[in-house]
Structure 1
Amino acid sequence: MWGAFIFGIVAFVSALTGFAVTTHAAEVKIISGPATDAVLASLRPEFERTTGNTFESKGGVTGVLKTLIERGEPFDLAIIPGPLMDSFVKQGKIAAGTSVPLVRVGMGVAVRAGAAKPDISSVAKFKQAILDAKSVTYVPKGETATRLAGVLERLGIAEQVKAKAQLLPTVPAAIQAVASGKAELYFSLTNIIASAKGIELAGPFPPELQHYLVINTGISSTAKQPDAAKALVKLLTSSNADAVIRAKGLERATR
């Protein structure tokens, strides 16, 4: 009798929320970058409440994500840049047909909280602001660094920036360098800047220089918890997550 009662409750909650609720909790192992950390943190309570499952996230900037997956780190769900996802689909590390565009975010420039913000609204002003800065910082293995290199070459100031750049290994280290005044400007994704303490967004890259990072979700081809991972993707791509995504400085990506 009690078994039928519990089954009825589970079925009712599943129908009410639209998400599968399991009687045996599963932990979804995620490999993801800092761009979506705040979204995952905000949606964790809803995921746990509606599914009975939880998740654990490991990762870092793009270079770290690539290394983790290449060395065989166990995971159920990857939330990583689209080009990297495409590569792992081809390698068979991500299950075919599971890669889905989730969000996109542009690049921006940060200064210490309370400091004067340079005008970077045009290509010419952006270039001058970088030349005027006494020091800059970014994470050399991150997605921003890859795109920034092309921007600096295009502007003809790669060598000048190299001479005053403080290359730091992690996003928190780069943020702290600017917050403490050790570096004047920080190049990163706008949502990371917006959610960090001690720094402020001076502005996005000018439209002519802007690049949007598209982040996809994909299920591991060797996932131990594929159903729970799919339930998390369903939440992330549902209208329930739209407000959270906007609040964290991201935009919905389209196919």
Structure 2
Amino acid sequence: MNKRFVVVALATGVASVFLGGADAGTPTTLKVITSGGFAQAYRELLPGFEKETGIKVETGSGASEGVGPKTIRYQLAHGTPADVVILSREGLNRLAEDGRIRKGSAVGLATAPLAAAVRTGAAPPNIATVAAFRQTLIEAGRIVMPGSTSGQFVRDKVFPRLDLPASVTLTLVARGTESVEMLKTGKADLAIGPSSELVNVPGITMIGHLPSEVQIIQTFTAGIVNDAKEPKAAKQLIRYLSSQKPATVAAIRRAGMEPARR
């Protein structure tokens, strides 16, 4: 006979709820897929969530948008199990159009502007104005960035507007980690991407945000997958990550983002 149980532990006025499955004492396991944009803050906050709730979380990764097996969209379409996905609002909207996100479950977690980075030790170029940014792109020549929401924006909207010479090349890779690696190893001279993927990364230095005229501010958003096996635990995690508690806000800001406005 399958049973569910609830154990409430009270310590210093905090209640922790443990949800069990078919076997007594078995903790709930929550499956999450997150994009790189929210990954730094997520990694910092997750241990506190697991400790507070007793819920075990298994985490996978994927790109917010783009094509191929490294995208969250591809993974869900090909049977990768997930209860919660965290990605750009644009990417989540596409998943909702596919019918993969529970209606009304989307919650904004944090916002991140586009920024640029160079290898640590390189002279920081000027990107304070559109004209300065354009000149920096020309001098750098080899630009790299993730081919997700931000990469598509820069490729389709920013570069055509700047009328750059053919000597400037933009390489789009599947993930922000690949972009950073290319910069570190000298295969690119300037990386562009969400600030949250360029801050606190050994070997590179974020030099600042792009000018407002060529800027896109992404909202990294969580949503519950339609066929989630643990929707109640999924709601708990989203509430935890979107709370305005000082520790949550601090973790988001350390990752180069701002908490999403409610």
The bucket for the TM-score relative to the shorter chain is: 0.7 to 0.9
Residues 158 and 167 (structure 1), Cα distance of their counterparts in 2 relative to 1, 3 Å cut: farther
Q: Decide which of 109, 112, 136 is 2:119's aligned counterpart.
A: 112
Q: Decide which of 212, 227, 251 is 2:232's aligned counterpart.
A: 227
Counterpart position of 1:204: 209
Residues 179 and 115 (structure 1), Cα distance of their counterparts in 2 relative to 1, 3 Å cut: same
Deviations along 1:160-200, one digit per CA (max 9) or x if unpaired, are 433xx444443323212212333210111111110321001
Q: Decide which of 17, 21, 26 is 1:20's aligned counterpart.
A: 17
CA distance in structure 2 between the partners assigned to 1:90 and 1:125 by the alignment: 39
- Stretches of structure 1 that go unaligned for 5 or more consecutive residues are 1-5
Residues 151 and 183 (structure 1), Cα distance of their counterparts in 2 relative to 1, 3 Å cut: same
CA distance in structure 1 between the partners assigned to 2:62 and 2:139 by the alignment: 30
Q: Decide which of 138, 144, 168 is 2:150's aligned counterpart.
A: 144
CA distance in structure 2 between the partners assigned to 1:77 and 1:173 by the alignment: 24
Deviations along 1:117-166, one digit per CA (max 9) or x if unpaired, are 10000000000110111322223x3222111111111111274433xx44
Q: Kindly tell me the number of residue pairs found equivalent between the two proteins.
A: 245
Q: Decide which of 52, 58, 75 is 1:68's aligned counterpart.
A: 75
Q: What code does the residue aligned with 2:59 have?
A: S
Does the 8 Å contact 1:76/1:224 carry over to 2?
yes
CA distance in structure 2 between the partners assigned to 1:133 and 1:91 by the alignment: 39
Deviation for aligned residue 1:244: 0.8
Say if 2:191 is the partner of 1:193.
Answer: no
What SS does structure 2 have at the residue aligned with 1:10?
strand
Counterpart position of 1:99: 106
Higher fraction of strand: 2
CA RMSD of aligned residues (A): 2.2
Q: What code does the residue aligned with 2:54 have?
A: G
CA distance in structure 2 between the partners assigned to 1:61 and 1:195 by the alignment: 20
CA distance in structure 1 between the partners assigned to 2:253 and 2:173 by the alignment: 28
Higher fraction of helix: 1
Deviations along 1:15-40, one digit per CA (max 9) or x if unpaired, are 93366343541121112100111111
Q: What code does the residue aligned with 2:87 have?
A: I
Counterpart position of 2:23: none
Counterpart position of 2:189: 184
CA distance in structure 2 between the partners assigned to 1:171 and 1:238 by the alignment: 26
What SS does structure 1 have at the residue aligned with 2:207?
strand
Q: Decide which of 22, 47, 50 is 1:48's aligned counterpart.
A: 50
CA distance in structure 2 between the partners assigned to 1:19 and 1:74 by the alignment: 26
CA distance in structure 1 between the partners assigned to 2:35 and 2:212 by the alignment: 24
CA distance in structure 2 between the partners assigned to 1:237 and 1:167 by the alignment: 30
TM-score by length of 2: 0.85
Does the 8 Å contact 2:108/2:242 carry over to 1?
no
**Which runs of structure 1 show a deviation greater than 3 angstroms over 4 or more consecutive aligned residues?**
15-24, 165-170
TM-score by length of 1: 0.88
Does the 8 Å contact 1:47/1:54 carry over to 2?
no
Residues 76 and 199 (structure 1), Cα distance of their counterparts in 2 relative to 1, 3 Å cut: same
CA distance in structure 1 between the partners assigned to 2:126 and 2:18 by the alignment: 50
Deviates more, 1:228-237 or 1:59-68: 59-68
Counterpart position of 1:252: 259
Q: What code does the residue aligned with 1:114 have?
A: G
Residues 168 and 146 (structure 1), Cα distance of their counterparts in 2 relative to 1, 3 Å cut: closer
What SS does structure 1 have at the residue aligned with 2:235?
helix
CA distance in structure 2 between the partners assigned to 1:158 and 1:227 by the alignment: 53
Q: With a CA cutoff of 8 Å and minimum separation of 6, indicate the structure with the bigger relative contact order.
A: 1
